């Protein structure tokens, strides 16, 4: 069964809008776990618009499943994760002002940089995952950095799903097989939802984990958090 990691960034966005502790990000993380989530994902950004660095430190002793921290590995981010020591760090190529991730790493021109980051993470006992697209040559290069996993950027799948689900998922199947053949674990995330997740999971081999935030939190406004997590978990069975 594929694990579900719940990204709680949007909960922090709502909290930050009032400058008070409502909703309580720490309580939501614990509740997600109690409702069946297999992990908690956060993506702290320099502009502090959602998850804050202090949230990350507060969450570390509370998260009992798997803690996944996403971000661009500048020195501030690396200092954070090496202190917090989550189970997994997902390296994304976002510029500081980006609203959300919109592409994976082009590994070749960043090979030395990514290799050094992966080495630092693994020396601290942290699993390293690199955010990538579906280009199989790029994935093979990601394996050469020494990374443990890749996370497949699934927005292209989500965008095409309604018009042609078979065509939408095909490059991800090939990418997952290439990653597995290269010794990499396979994660996936971005715009996965209750509408498209089951099809993706059914067709994708070797899928270890999905990280879902925006759609899941949006669904929870109507369904409630416990029922929403139950439905997402059901898609992964």
- Structural domains in the chain, sorted by start: 3-235 (3.20.20.70)
pTM over 0.85: yes
Give the pLDDT confidence score for residue 46 in this predicted structure.
87
pLDDT at 94: 79
Q: Over range 100-111, report the average pLDDT.
A: 87
**What percent of the chain stands above pLDDT 90?**
93
What is the DSSP secondary-structure string of 26-73?
HHHHHHHHHTT-SEEEE---TT-SSS-HHHHHHHTTT--S-EEEEE--
- pLDDT, tens digit, 9 for 90 and up, residues 142-182: 999 999 999 999 999 999 999 999 999 999 999 999 999 99
For residue 217, give Cα distances in angstroms to 100, 124, 211, 212.
15, 32, 12, 9
| Residue 96: predicted pLDDT | 60
User: What is the pLDDT, as a whole number, of residue 97?
Assistant: 59
Residue 34, pLDDT score = 98
Ramachandran assignment for 29, one of left (phi > 0), alpha (psi -120 to 50 degrees), beta (any other): alpha
Of the candidates 136, 67, 146, the residue with the CA atom closest to the CA atom of residue 104: 136
Band the pLDDT of 103: cuts 50, 70, 90: confident
Q: What 3-state DSSP class applies to 198?
A: helix
Report the share of the chain in percent with pLDDT over 70: 97
* Active site (catalytic) residues: 43, 70, 190
Identify the three-state secondary structure at position 131: strand
pLDDT digits (tens, 9 = 90+) for 175-233: 999 999 999 999 999 999 999 999 999 999 999 999 999 999 999 999 999 999 999 99
Output the pLDDT for position 101: 61
Tokens of 175: 């990418």
Q: Output phi, psi for 152, to 5 deg.
A: -80, 130
The pLDDT, as a whole number, for residue 100 is: 58
Write the pLDDT tens digit of every residue in 49-101: 899 999 999 999 999 999 999 999 999 999 999 999 999 999 999 766 555 56
């Amino acid at each position: 069964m594929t694990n579900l990691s719940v990204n709680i960034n949007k909960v922090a966005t709502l909290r930050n809008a009032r400058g008070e502790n409502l909703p309580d990000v720490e309580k939501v993380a614990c509740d997600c776990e109690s409702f069946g989530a297999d992990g908690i994902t956060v993506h702290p950004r320099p502009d502090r618009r959602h998850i804050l660095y202090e949230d990350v430190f507060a969450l570390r002793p509370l998260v009992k499943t798997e803690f996944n921290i996403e971000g661009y590995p500048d020195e501030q981010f690396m200092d954070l994760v090496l202190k917090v020591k989550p189970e997994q760090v997902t390296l994304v190529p976002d510029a500081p002002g980006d609203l959300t991730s919109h592409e994976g790493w082009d590994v070749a021109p960043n090979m030395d940089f990514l290799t050094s980051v992966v080495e630092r993470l693994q020396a601290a006992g942290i699993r390293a995952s690199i955010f990538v697209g579906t280009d199989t040559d790029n994935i093979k290069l990601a394996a050469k950095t020494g990374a443990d996993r890749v996370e497949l950027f699934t927005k292209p799948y989500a965008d095409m799903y309604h018009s042609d689900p078979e065509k939408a998922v095909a490059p991800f199947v090939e990418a997952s097989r290439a990653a597995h053949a290269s010794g990499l674990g396979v994660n996936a995330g971005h715009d996965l939802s209750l509408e498209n997740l089951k099809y993706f999971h059914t067709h994708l081999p070797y899928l270890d984990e999905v990280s879902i935030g925006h759609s899941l939190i949006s669904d929870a406004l109507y369904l409630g958090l416990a029922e929403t997590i139950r439905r997402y978990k059901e898609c992964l069975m």
